[in-house]
Amino acid sequence: MSEADSETTNAQAYSVSELAFALKRTLEDAYGFVRLRGELSKVTHHSNGHVYLTLKDDKAALDGVVWKGSVRGLGVRPEHGLEVIVTGRITTYPAGSRYQIVIETMEAAGIGALLAQLERLKARLAAEGLFAPERKRAIPSMPSTVAVITSPTGAVIRDILHRIRDRWPCRVIVWPVVVQGDQAAAQVAGAIRGFNALGEDGPLPRPDLIIVARGGGSVEDLWPFNDEALARAVVEGTIPLISAVGHETDTTLIDFVSDRRAPTPTAAAEMATPVLADLKAVLSDFERRMSQCGGRMVEDRRQRLTGVARGLPRPDDILALARQRFDNAASRLSNGLRANVDVHERALLRSAGRLQPGVLKRSLEACVGQLGNASSRLNSALISNVDIHERALLRTTGKLQPGVLKRSLNAHTERLSQVNLRFNRATAVDFDRTERRLKSVGQLLETLNPSRPLQMGFALVRRSDGSLVHQGASLSAGEEVSLKFADTTRQAVIDGASGQPAPPPPAPRAKPKAPPPGQGDLF
C-alpha cells in the first residue's frame, strides 16, 4: 500500500443511515419552526386520515404532510389551487432522500383565496341539491312560537323583539350565541340542532320558525356563516328557517340553504309574523260580508216561500171531501151494527136448538162405549209387547257372556294394533318424502337467489334510472351505470363503442319431480 492511500483511509466512513439521520437532526434543529406562504397542489387525502400535499410558488416546490391529529385543527380544508399560510417544522424522509414540512396550522392567505374556496364549496353543495327550491319549506303564516339565534347584546335582538311585539303577540325564545369569530359557526349550528331536537310536549315549546340574525360587517366578520357544517345543520333541520345575516348586499352560504332570506333582521321579523291589526280588519270585513250574505239569503228564502204558498190550496178545501166521506160513514155505521147483531142472534138460536139433553146423552154413551173397547185392546197389546221384549232380552243376555265379550275385545285389540303399526309406517314414509321435497325446494331457492352470483364475483349493472341492463350492446359510450357487488355499489362510465351482442341466456333448469307416493298416502 502506498503512502497516499494510507493517508486517505484516516477519514471516518459514515454509513448511509448515519448520514441521513444526521442531516435530519440538523434540519429539524435549524428549522424547528417555519412559516410559509404558497399555493397548494397535489393534495391527497389518505384513507388513514393523513393529508399529503405540495407547497409551491413560481420558482420552487416543497412537499408537505399533515398528520391525522392536526387535520381537524386546520383553519381551511386543503384543496388544490388554494393559497395558504402554514406553520410547521422542516424534516427529512431518509428512505427517499428528500426533505418536507410537517404542517401544524393552515390558514387562507387572503380574501381572494377564501372567496375562491367559498365558490368551490357553493358549487359542490349546489350539485348535491341543497339549494334546490323544492327542498325549501314554507314559512308558517301565524306562528305561536318564534326562535331567534343571535347575539344577546347587540341591537339586532332589540329590533327583532320590538318589531314582533308591534305586529304579532307571540312567544319569542332567544338562543344566545356569538356571531363572530372561530366559535360562531359551531354555536349557531348547535343552536339550530337544539331547537330541532325539542319535543312537542316538552317543558320548552317547540318553535314554529327559527330566525338566524346578525348585523352588517366585513367579509371576515361574516365568514363563520359560510361554514359547511353550519349549512348542513340548516338542511338537516325540520323547522323552517329565515336567515338575516348582514345587510341587503351581503350574501353568505346560509342564505342559499335557508328556507327564506331576509335583507335585514327587521325584515326577517316582518316575514315571520303577520300584522294583527290587518288580520282583525280582514276578519271584521269577512264578518260584515257574511252578515250581509246571510240577510240576503233569508230574504230570498222568505220571498220564495211566499210565492210557493200562493200556489197551494186552502186547508178547508183540502179537508172538505174527507170530512164529507167521514159523515157518510158515520151515518151508515149505526145501521150496520144493528144488522150485525141480528145476524149473530139468529146463528146463536140455530146452535142452541142442537144442544138438547137427549142429544148430548146419546153422544156421551157412544164415547163411553168406544173408550171401553179401546181399553180392552190396550191390555192385550201391552201383554203381547211385554212377551216380545222379554224374548229379545233373553237372546241379548245370551250374547253378553264373559267369554264372548273377551273374544270380541281381543279381536278388536289385535286389529287396532295392526292399524297403529300401519299408521306409524305411513307417517315415517310421509315425513321422509316431505323432508326430501323440502331439501329440494331449498336447493332450488338457493340456486335462484339473486344475491348468490354477487358472492361469486359477478355484479348487477343498472342504468342511471335504475333499470337493469340485460345486454351490453344496449349501452352507449359515455353512459353512466352503477355496478352492484356483494358488499357495495360503485359508479362507472361506459367507454368505447358498443360491444358484441350477449349470448342467449341458458335454458331454465327442469323442476325436480316429486318422489312417488309411499304407503303413508293411505292416510
What DSSP string runs through 281-341?
Answer: HHHHHHHHHHHHHHHHHHHHHHHHHHHHHHTSPPHHHHHHHHHHHHHHHHHHHHHHHHHHH
Same domain, 100 and 207: no
- Closest alpha carbon to 216 in 257, 239, 248, 241: 248
Same domain, 20 and 93: yes
CB-based contacts of 63, cutoff 8 Å, min separation 6: 52, 53, 54, 55, 98, 99, 100, 101
pLDDT at residue number 54: 92
Same domain, 183 and 243: yes
**Alpha-carbon span 467 to 461, nearest angstrom:** 9
CB-based contacts of 277, cutoff 8 Å, min separation 6: none
pTM here? Answer: 0.45
Say if 56 falls within a structural domain.
yes
**Alpha-carbon span 105 to 35, nearest angstrom:** 9
**Alpha-carbon span 186 to 233, nearest angstrom:** 10
Distances (CA, A) of 115 to 277, 318, 376: 45, 96, 133
Say if 137 falls within a structural domain.
no
CB-based contacts of 55, cutoff 8 Å, min separation 6: 36, 38, 39, 40, 61, 62, 63, 64, 86, 101
Mean pLDDT split into 10-residue runs, the chain, 523 residues = 54 82 85 89 90 89 92 85 89 85 87 76 93 93 94 91 91 94 92 93 92 86 90 95 89 94 93 88 89 91 86 77 82 84 84 66 78 80 84 75 74 85 86 85 76 77 85 84 85 71 50 47 34
What CATH number corresponds to the domain at position 26? 2.40.50.140
Contact yes or no for 41/79 (Cβ under 8 A) = no
Quick count: other Cβ atoms within 10 Å of Cβ 157? 19
Residue-range definition of the domain harbouring residue 177: 143-273
Same domain, 229 and 288: no
Q: Are strands 241-245 and 209-214 parallel, antiparallel or unpaired?
A: parallel
- Identity of the amino acid at 523: F
**Alpha-carbon span 424 to 57, nearest angstrom:** 93
**Alpha-carbon span 167 to 373, nearest angstrom:** 116
What DSSP string runs through 349-399?
Answer: HHHHHT--HHHHHHHHHHHHHHHHHHHHHHHHHHHHHHHHHHHHHHHHHHH
Same domain, 156 and 253: yes
Say if 180 falls within a structural domain.
yes
Structural domains of the chain, count: 5
Contact yes or no for 160/213 (Cβ under 8 A) = yes
Same domain, 73 and 88: yes
Same domain, 230 and 209: yes
- Give the number of C-alpha atoms closer than 13 A to the C-alpha of residue 232, restricted to the C-beta side: 8
Same domain, 167 and 268: yes
Same domain, 240 and 201: yes
Sheet with 489-493, side-by-side order of all strands: 460-463, 480-484, 489-493
Helices 111-127 and 228-236 pack at an angle, to 10 degrees, of: 30
Contact yes or no for 205/146 (Cβ under 8 A) = no
Same domain, 437 and 454: no
What CATH number corresponds to the domain at position 205? 3.40.50.261
Say if 234 falls within a structural domain.
yes
Contact yes or no for 42/56 (Cβ under 8 A) = no
pLDDT at residue number 6: 47
**Alpha-carbon span 200 to 204, nearest angstrom:** 9
pLDDT at residue number 518: 45
Same domain, 216 and 165: yes
The number of angstroms, rounded, from the C-alpha of 435 to the middle of its chain's C-alpha atoms is 40
Q: Residue 90 — φ and ψ, nearest 5°? A: -90, 135
pLDDT at residue number 216: 84
Distances (CA, A) of 197 to 201, 336, 431: 12, 93, 58
Contact yes or no for 211/148 (Cβ under 8 A) = yes
**Alpha-carbon span 466 to 468, nearest angstrom:** 7
- Give the end of a domain, one of 225, 252, 273: 273
Task: Let me know if 154 is exposed, middle or buried by CB neighbors in 10 A (0-12, 13-18, 19+).
Answer: middle
SS3 annotation, 219-267: HHHHHHHHCHHHHHHHHHCCCCEEEEECCCCCCCHHHHHCCEECCCHHH
Q: Residue 147 — φ and ψ, nearest 5°? A: -100, 135
Contact yes or no for 224/181 (Cβ under 8 A) = yes
Say if 259 falls within a structural domain.
yes
pLDDT at residue number 7: 53
pLDDT at residue number 358: 66
Same domain, 213 and 234: yes
First-last CA distance in the chain: 112
Say if 404 falls within a structural domain.
yes
